Amino acid sequence: MDQILSLAATNLLSPIILSFVLGVIAALARSDLSIPEAVAKGMSIYLLFAIGFKGGVSVASHGVDLTLALSLIAGMALSALLPLIAFSLLQIMTGLSRLDAAAVAAHYGSISIVTFVAATSVLQSSGIASEGYMVAVAAAMEAPAILSALWLISRGGSDARRMDGELMREIMLNGSIVLLVGAFFIGGITGADGLAKIESFIVSPFQGVLCLFLLDMGLVAGRGLRGGGQVMKPGVIAFGILMPLIGSVAGLGVGLLLGLSTGGVALFMVLSASASYIAVPAAMRVALPEANPSIYLTLSLGVTFPFNLTLGIPLYVAVASALTGG
């Protein structure tokens, strides 16, 4: 318990979290502080490239094993199954329509890569190692949740065809996945030599870029909270905090079963606990345009993301440490 609290305190007072808080405050105070869309997108490309590359380099030096394949499969299964739990929970806890509930559920099966990045940086400063291929697991968990959610809706019967080949292609080949997986392969192929060449670009400034990126996330989350406040009923908010806890327990079980390292288990918890706010919202606008975007965006970005960033990550890391004896 002490460890959790001290980890939480260190985490809460890190420049990364404080930058996020600054963003939230600025947005709530209606400051005109804003980060240009192109710069935010540039930073996210940088973060994806760096995290993918480093994961690939780590796999190159540790070698590929069976656990890698099993982890990928387990991640996809989690992504596909978590929306079913989320959907039931939403029907119990909230008055959301089937459509809105399915759209929200899709977000919670999928993952938030920035939450993942923030967790790796907490692990790193705590000196806890993790499997490099967890970044590939992250990529594998992005899409299955969307299919689950659309299946939930089509089962409801209202109208059938929500998914077409074009949408499928868009989901599987969305920019973040391609960049993350591509950089992972580049890192895997070029290994430590490649990393040496671009280390002072993708390693040294990483934490600083993450600060500015989280400042922007804070601005967006704060604006969302300001605008989306009216749709945020107590039951919905409670779901946004309960669901990541449930997800993290599922991730914990899977991580322990696979026999991952402390860091690997913690990251599996983080991935399962986190909710998408990029790939899934875009897919939902195409496939379920009648679902209300304020609900899923505010919930994912305004409730679950801050919860995971501030309290969730230290909690998951502490639990993983305790249970793996790490």
Q: Does 155 bind a copy of itself (CB under 8 A)?
A: no
Q: Does 311 bind a copy of itself (CB under 8 A)?
A: no
Neighbours of 37 (CB within 10 A): 9
Rounded to the nearest angstrom, the gap between the alpha carbon of residue 295 and the centroid of all alpha carbons in its chain is 18
Place of tokens 């993918």: 52
Q: Tokens at residue 199, please?
A: 């280390």
Would you list the DSSP string of 175-213? HHHHHHHHHHHHHHHHHHHHHHHHHHHHTTTHHHHHHHH
Q: Which stretch binds a copy of itself (CB under 8 A): 60-68, 99-107, 153-161, 170-178?
A: 170-178
Mark 277-296 with x for binding to other proteins (rule: CB under 8 A) and - for no binding: xxx-xx-xxx--xx-xxx--
Q: Tokens at residue 246, please?
A: 């449930």
Of the candidates 207, 195, 53, the residue with the CA atom closest to the CA atom of residue 136 = 53
Q: Does 214 bind other proteins (CB under 8 A)?
A: no
Q: Does 156 bind other proteins (CB under 8 A)?
A: no
Place of tokens 């760096």: 50
Q: Which stretch binds a copy of itself (CB under 8 A): 89-97, 206-214, 241-249, 289-297?
A: 206-214
Contact 268, 131 (CB under 8 A): no
Q: Which stretch binds a copy of itself (CB under 8 A): 40-48, 95-103, 227-235, 287-295?
A: 40-48
Contacted by 301, from Na ion, a copy of itself, other proteins, none: CB < 5 to 8 Å by type: other proteins
Nearest-angstrom CA–CA distance, 179 and 46: 10
Residues in 103-132 that interact with a copy of itself by CB under 8 A: 125
Q: Which residues bind Na ion (CB under 5 A)?
A: 111, 272, 274
Nearest-angstrom CA–CA distance, 53 and 125: 19
Complex with other proteins: residue 237 or 282, whichever CB lies closer = 282
Q: Does 100 bind other proteins (CB under 8 A)?
A: no
Binding site for a copy of itself (CB under 8 A): 13-15, 18-19, 22, 25-26, 29-39, 41-42, 45-46, 49, 53, 125, 169-170, 173-175, 178-179, 182-183, 185-186, 189-190, 194, 197-198, 200-202, 204-209, 211-212, 215
